[in-house]
Structure formats: structure tokens, C-alpha cells
Amino acid sequence: MRRSEVEQPGPGIVHLGLGAFFRAFGAIYVDDAVRISGGDWGIIGVSLQSPATRDRLAQQDFVYTVVTQGPDGGEIFRKTEIVQDVLVAPESPEAVLTWMADPAIRIVTLTVTEKGYCHDPATGNLNFGHPDIVHDLGNPLPKSAPGFLVRALQRRRDAGRPPFTVLTCDNLPENGRLVRRAVLDLAGRIDPALAGWIAAEGRFPATMVDRITPATKPEDIDRLAQKIGYRDEAPVMCEPFRQWVVEDDFVPAYGTHARPDLAAAGAEMVADVTPYENMKLRMLNGTHSSLAYLGYLAGHETIAETVADPVFAAFVKRLWRQEIMPSFTPPEGVDLEAYADALFERYSNPAIRHRTWQIAMDGSQKLPQRILGTISDNLDAGRACPGLMLAVAGWMRYVGGIDEKGQPIEVKDPLAAQLRALSDAAQTADEKVAALLGCRDVFSARLALDLVGPVTSAYETLAAQGARKAVGGVR
């Protein structure tokens, strides 16, 4: 597979963390915007860790196929050329910084997951004890995403150039504010004057992103080759639905060339993304994580398989209507009942094999944003939330590393070893819950006190009855 002869747009965006999600989501919006309205918005991708994506894409000139999978089994194939190159940061951090400092680059986008911001999920503060941040404080060739942002902005300031807009596309509450804080915290330690310049001149719009993108499997590649007549080693799979809500706050120095025409591509450009963010994080991501832990423990491999189980279908619908929807104010004009119905339809799409194990990854980073905030607001309002308490207990059982059949669980989490040690050192259910609630990287001291009773009760039910019966008993 090779790039077409059509003239390509010049580069305008560097993307940190070029995984499947951004290639099926943000890159498609940018590609559509360029097709509709033009502009030099080609994407230079950056892998912050592994060369695997670069190696697969490089052999096909960085062209790849987006496969949209409908619930009826139909598929739409889209050849995508907006990514022009992919760099691997550990191999060549200087090349990454050179591109980020280039005056043609006006936006740096990110999908580095929650753990990529090197922050404390419980407080939102940058973790200055994180090994990558320790390295980046004393080294102009960084390792972390915040480090690359700060050092590239430092080069732009020193060269008399405007900053780029930092546009995060990760599922985090107030994600623009979070990355701004991380950047300013790190810049302030390196050079307080730099931090002042970034605070005054930089822009960090918040976003809400939504498209389910399951991991591509080897059999997907083989099947795709038979269907479309060429072999693509780096296709991405996704559902038909997509939604991107973006705060329209970009670096003003670039005028009308500050961003692609994202509105023409279907993005919603708004003044404040917070209501959309709360809705999506709580209603989609919160239930996704709840279904992932409890569904995995019950033996379900995918979300579609989980919600096909009537016990789990009733559970997730109850979560939405009794525990999640009352916890926040929806965006103006949005019908939450209709949104919940649409989510259930998306979850039920059998073509989207979104594995519960995949969604369960990095739970220590996800739990505070996806579930604990909702619990906290419910408790403050005097509302019981037994389903979400069971989800927290399900996470605790999951990170214990042994499933209900006594088989090991491959727990992928930056705190996996610490969490397993806490669980193993405790004997009884109440001791295990107390030990895990003591993990301040996940639970604040105040919330931990409120959770002791209900989560211990939920954990005991899980241990005695198993996940499916426990889910069925939530009222």
C-alpha cells in the first residue's frame, strides 16, 4: 500500500501517542477538514515508547485503512493518508523536538492515556517523583509527554516563535486544564519565566472525545486483506459513531490558520466542554469500566457479550438512570435518556469486539475520573449508589490478580505490583478493602472513609456469590 499521487498537505500537527484511537478518530476529523476546507494540517505522529506502530506504518508509506464496523456486519473501508511520518521518541528525542519547535506546527495533539501525564490521579498534581519527570527536570532531551511539551515550548520561546496549541484527546475530566497544570508545574521548576510565558501565550483547550476503537487482531489483518485486495499491517477498527467536542480556544497569533476547519468535519466547537465531558466520562467510560471489571470476573470476554447477558443489561441501565444521570447537569438540549439508549445500542454492536480485559487496563488511573467522582457527588447529595460501590469492589477483586475460577489475571496497570501486594498481604475481605482504600494514588483520605462500609459489603458479596449473582442483586 502506497500514498496516492494527489498533492499532500504540509505538516501542521504533531501528535504524541499515535495509537489506534487517534488514527480512527482525530486523524479522520483532520483529514475530513482538509478535504472540505483545505489547509496544511498533515500529521507527524510520535510514539513515546515502542517503535511497533512506526515500523508497521513505515513499510506502507504511513498510509492505513480505517474499518468502520456496523452492527449488521457491514464494513466501510477508508484509506487514510493524513499521517505523513512517525517518529519514535526514545530513538530520536531531538527529531521530535525539532518538529515540535518548527514554525509550521501550530497544534500538538495527545492521546497518551491517563498515566502518560505523570500526574497523581487523586489530586491532579504533577508527580515530581515519577522517574520520567525526574529525568526531564535535568535533561533537555525528555522522556515524558509533559517533558516534550515544555522543552519544545522552551525552544519556540527562545526562537521568538508563538507557542503551539496543546490539544489533548484523552478521557480525563477537564483534560485541557490538567495538561496545562502539568506543563506549568514542570516549566516552573525548569524556568519560572518560561512558565509565565506559557501561561500568558499558550492555549490548552479541553475536549470530549468518543469513538469505540477495539484493538486490531492478527485475524482482522488477514480478513481485511481478503476483502480489499491489499495487505495493510496497521488497520484500525471502529464503530460508526463518533463525537468530538472542542473548546474553541487556540493560539491567537495564527489568526484564521490556528486550527483546521473542524466544525466542517462535524466537530462541535463550544465555549465550555465540561458538561459534555461529565456526561461522557460518567455515562460511557464509567459504565465501560464497571462492565469491564464485573463482566471479566463473570467470564465475559467483550462488552457486547456482557450486555447480551440480561443480568448485566439490567445492571447497566440501572446504573445510568439511578446512580449516574442524577449526579451531573447535562449539556443544554441533551436528552440523557436518549443518550443512554444510544450507548446501550453501541455496547450491543457484536462487530465491535471491545474486550473487557482491554478496558480494564490502567484502572488505578481511570477509577478516580470515571467512577469515584460520581460516587463522591452522590454521597454529598445523600444518594446511595450500590452499583458503583460494587464496581469499585470488582476492581479490587480484579487487581487481586485471581479470577473466580482461581486462574491468574494478567493485570496491566502502573500500580499492578503495589496493588497485588496490598491485596495479598490482607486475609479477610474487610482487610483487603481497607488496604486498597489506603492507596492514596487512587483514593483520597476523605473518600476512603466514606467507602469502607459499602465497598466492604460489596466485596464480601462478590467473594461469596460471584460477580453475576452480585450484579443481579443490586437494587
CA dihedral 401, 406, 410, 416 (to 10 degrees): 10
17 in helix, strand or coil?
coil
CATH architecture of structural domain 274-472: Orthogonal Bundle (1.10)
Nearest in space to 370 (alpha carbons), one of 340, 411, 328 = 328
12 in helix, strand or coil?
strand
**What stretches in the chain show pLDDT beneath 50?**
none
CA dihedral 298, 312, 448, 404 (to 10 degrees): -10
| Amino acid 220: pLDDT | 93
Q: Which residues pair with 119 in a beta bridge?
A: 126
CB–CB of 336/319 below 8 Å?
A: no
State pTM to two decimals.
Answer: 0.89
Question: pLDDT tens digit string along 168-179?
Answer: 999 888 999 999
Q: Where are the chain's structural domains?
A: 11-270, 274-472
Give CATH superfamily name and number for 11-270.
NAD(P)-binding Rossmann-like Domain (3.40.50.720)
16 in helix, strand or coil?
strand
CA 60 vs CA 66, 218, 297, 389: distances in Å? 14, 17, 40, 47
Q: What is d(CA 455, CA 376) in angstroms, rounded to the nearest whole number?
A: 13
Q: Which residues pair with 370 in a beta bridge?
A: none
Amino acid making up residue 97: L
335 in helix, strand or coil?
coil
328 in helix, strand or coil?
coil
| Amino acid 1: pLDDT | 76
Q: What is d(CA 147, CA 136) in angstroms, rounded to the nearest whole number?
A: 6
